[in-house]
Amino acid sequence: MTNSAISIRKNDAISRGVAMATQIYADRAENSEIWDVEGRRYIDFASGIAVVNTGHRHPKIIAAVKAQLDRFTHTCHQVVPYEHYVHLAERLNALTPGDFAKKTIFVTTGAEAVENAIKIARAATGRSAIIAFGGGFHGRTFMGMSLTGKVTPYKVGFGSMMGDVYHVPYPMALHGVTVADSLEAIEKLFKASVDPARVAALIIEPVQGEGGFYEAPRDLLLALRKLCDIHGITLIADEVQTGFARTGRMFAMDAHDVAPDLIVMAKSLAGGFPLSAVTGRADLMDAPVSGGLGGTYAGSPIGVAAAHAVLDIIEEEQLCARANALGSRLKQRLESLRASVPEIAEIRGPGFMNAVEFVSNKTGLPDANFANSVRATALEKGLILLTCGVYGNVIRFLAPITIQDNVMAEALDVLESAILDVRAGIAR
């Protein structure tokens, strides 16, 4: 069996709408390493897009899932509930930012969690309008697409988006967008497009994921909290990609001492098993009528069991501190390349949610070709990387926080080699 042979079958069997960052087909994985069907080993700096912060097949997660499989796999919590769903909700209520009474619901995907957060905000406020940010990503459902601030490939060909959704610029100092610009855009929105008394919620990623790993400045988050309080708007933090130790805190919002009204979680919550959540102020969470929230697979007992193990691992292995140490190590290595790689425009990101942005050495404009060449060259050398950003010129780093020190060292050597090889090609 070869990757190329499977790829040919894929072209005949799977919609082209499902994009794939690589054409290597996984056979097995362990912690930070993946082996493909041809037996080649790769270092995984993607983690299934920040899903396996605790590494592939962490023994404690596998043990928790196996134990749950021996008890039951599905009853539908809305028909026959189970205690460990309740216990996980209690744990998230205690762990999420905000010193107030909270409640939680579990669903299946990040997009589904976002949808439910919007439903909760609308039910609680009696309003309909939503404010989101350019460059943000909130899913591929129709509400998720509408909230997402990037057209290609997420909105192309799918017709009109959901109504009453408005976008404002996200601060990006590198591209000349300031906090003042973002706040002024909101004020202009209130004057020209939507009465703030009609706005149900404002949703923001504290660090943009697909948008390029730009971190929301503390001043912005404090101002948004104040603005939402003044106008009775629900502040939603989308922590689907930032949550569970990735940024060096359990949640990215913890670093700013800003408590959102609702927080959306998914990805690494269950260490590779489908599970997502919305946690928020108890009065808001109770606004929908009984039966208004949920789903057949919502709060899968398998995913819930895995999530309990994830929370235990983060605490026991001190993954928040490790994320900070690994991120510092990565950023230092990238900084050492600045003198010889003028295309490096910025190195950023809290904890181990890091990125490097490339621009043309000649024009200073975003250089997607450079970023993609680095990604492709690294893959040839056995390192899996992902690009992101509105311009496609950013490489993001999402290795498991449990990555072994020696594998991390090897990955940094490969990364440096790939960047220098691409630079040398341009120099020629």
pTM, to two decimals: 0.96
pLDDT given at position 426: 80
Helix/strand/coil (H/E/C) assignment for every residue in 382-411: CEECEEECCCCCEEEECCCCCCCHHHHHHH
- In order of their start, the domains of the chain are 3-57+318-427 (3.90.1150.10), 72-316 (3.40.640.10)
pLDDT in tens, 132-158: 999 999 999 999 999 999 888 888 898
| Mean pLDDT taken over the chain | 96
Q: Report pLDDT digits (tens) over 262-284.
A: 999 999 999 999 999 999 999 99
| Per-residue pLDDT, 425 | 85
Long-range Cβ pairs for the range 179-184 (8 Å, 24+): 179/217, 179/219, 179/220, 179/223, 182/133, 182/220, 183/220, 183/223, 183/227
pLDDT of residue 427: 60
Segment 218-232 mean pLDDT: 98
pLDDT one-digit tens code per residue, 157-169: 988 888 899 999 9
Q: Can you give the pLDDT at residue 151?
A: 87
**Packing angle between helix 301-316 and helix 59-69, nearest 10 degrees?**
150
| Least confident range of 4-18, 54-68, 292-306 | 4-18
Does residue 428 register a pLDDT over 70?
no
β-pair partners for 299: none
Identify the residue whose tokens are 């697409």. Answer: 145
Instruction: Indicate the burial class of 204 (C-beta count within 10 angstroms; 0-12, 13-18, 19 or more).
Output: buried
pLDDT surpassing 70 at residue 357:
yes
End-to-end CA distance of the chain: 38
The pLDDT assigned to 337 comes to 98
Question: Looking at residue 71, what is its pLDDT?
Answer: 98
Q: In degrees rounded to 5, what are phi and psi of residue 361?
A: -65, -20
Digit-coded pLDDT (tens) for 361-393: 999 999 999 999 999 999 999 999 999 999 999
pLDDT tens, residue by residue, 398-426: 999 999 999 999 999 999 999 999 999 88
- Long-range own/partner contacts, residues 291-296 (CB < 8 A, 24 or more apart): 292/119, 292/123, 293/105, 293/116, 293/119, 293/120, 294/77, 294/78, 294/105, 294/107, 295/107, 295/108, 295/112, 296/76
Q: Indicate whether 322 pLDDT > 90.
A: yes
Looking at residue 20, what is its pLDDT? Answer: 87
The mean pLDDT of 206-234, rounded to a whole number, is 97
Over residues 316-335, the mean pLDDT reads: 98
Q: Is the pLDDT of residue 67 over 90?
A: yes
Q: What is the 3-class SS of the chain, one letter each residue?
A: CCHHHHHHHHHHHCCCCCCCCCCCCEEEEEECEEEECCCCEEEECCHHHHCCCCCECCHHHHHHHHHHHCCCCCCCCCCCCCHHHHHHHHHHHHHCCCCCCEEEEEECCHHHHHHHHHHHHHHHHCCCEEEEECCCCCCCCHHHHHHCCCCCCCCCCCCCCCCCEEEECCCEHHHCECHHHHHHHHHHHHHHCCCHHHEEEEEECCECCCCCCCECCHHHHHHHHHHHHHHCCEEEEECCCCCCCCCCCCCHHHHHCCCCCEEEECHHHHCCCCCEEEEEEHHHHCCCCCCCCCCCCCCCHHHHHHHHHHHHHHHHCCHHHHHHHHHHHHHHHHHCCCCCCCCEEEEECCCCCEEEEEECCCCCCECHHHHHHHHHHHHHCCEECEEECCCCCEEEECCCCCCCHHHHHHHHHHHHHHHHHHHHHHHC
